[in-house]
Structure 1
């Protein structure tokens, strides 16, 4: 498999591991739809729309570069990052972030949601990788986006990574506010003992 096709495969595998697999698992075991992202004209809807736009742009890019060899050249390659050692770090980072995300999703179990589930109360998960980071899935996403920039340093990957990070920062704070209300003192204790990222 060529490098460009491998990148597209890993990107799709990451999307499957980060969003599809855990959602299907929760729905099949509980009957609860874990996809609870709103589309209103508030902060939650803004973050939802932003994430969708970034993911669609990245999906279009990785598929285009998989089948069109000149895609990167036309998108403003950053030559100071285009180095075999930097690319090797990108491959390692992408692989590590995929493994990290799968571990976090598995350990989250039936508490997995995409968005804020106000109807179905979930358990607070604090073990495993959640003992190191309050937001390990988002941490994995941030690391995968950085790895993509190292692999394909161009205007699209840099813009997508920066935009996604802004939306992640918003979403993390919305989720923390929600969890603090839902879990009270237990979440306050968790915040005192576990950092937001690492």
Structure 2
């Protein structure tokens, strides 16, 4: 399907969709890890912290690297946004993304906190590492946007669960770097 023809679609920034989940995951993860430090657990606090630190690094690296080739393929095949396309505000994209995953985030926080009974702080740091990986991935997308001097957008109806490189995504659309209200990488424009 040629996504460059037609128009009138609502487009969300790819980097904003990726970055939207990072902050809640990191805050909830660090909160769960902090609560876990008050529990002695089966392994003790020191082992829990070492295990958590290792899990944080591994989760951040894995999440940042997952589907990298799919993102690059979609970026390479991107076409100009149509004149009639509507660019969704950053705040609307972030709010929608976080709402779609709020119950999963709550469940992850409960599990990370409960895991402290066995290994203190490790589950929380794992959750925080996944959030850090999303933040890194959004930063990498932002650097590629800056290098290409474009911003990548995806039609909202293709990402019902907020997956900007999911199987339903047929291609990205591009605009100039001044479009929208988010900077490259999905951060607030200053």
Bigger proportion of residues as strand? 2
Give the TM-score taking structure 2 as reference length: 0.33
Question: Which protein is bigger by CA-based radius of gyration?
Answer: 2
Bigger proportion of residues as helix? 1
Question: Relative contact order, CA 8 A, sep 6+: which one is greater?
Answer: 2
Give the TM-score taking structure 1 as reference length: 0.32
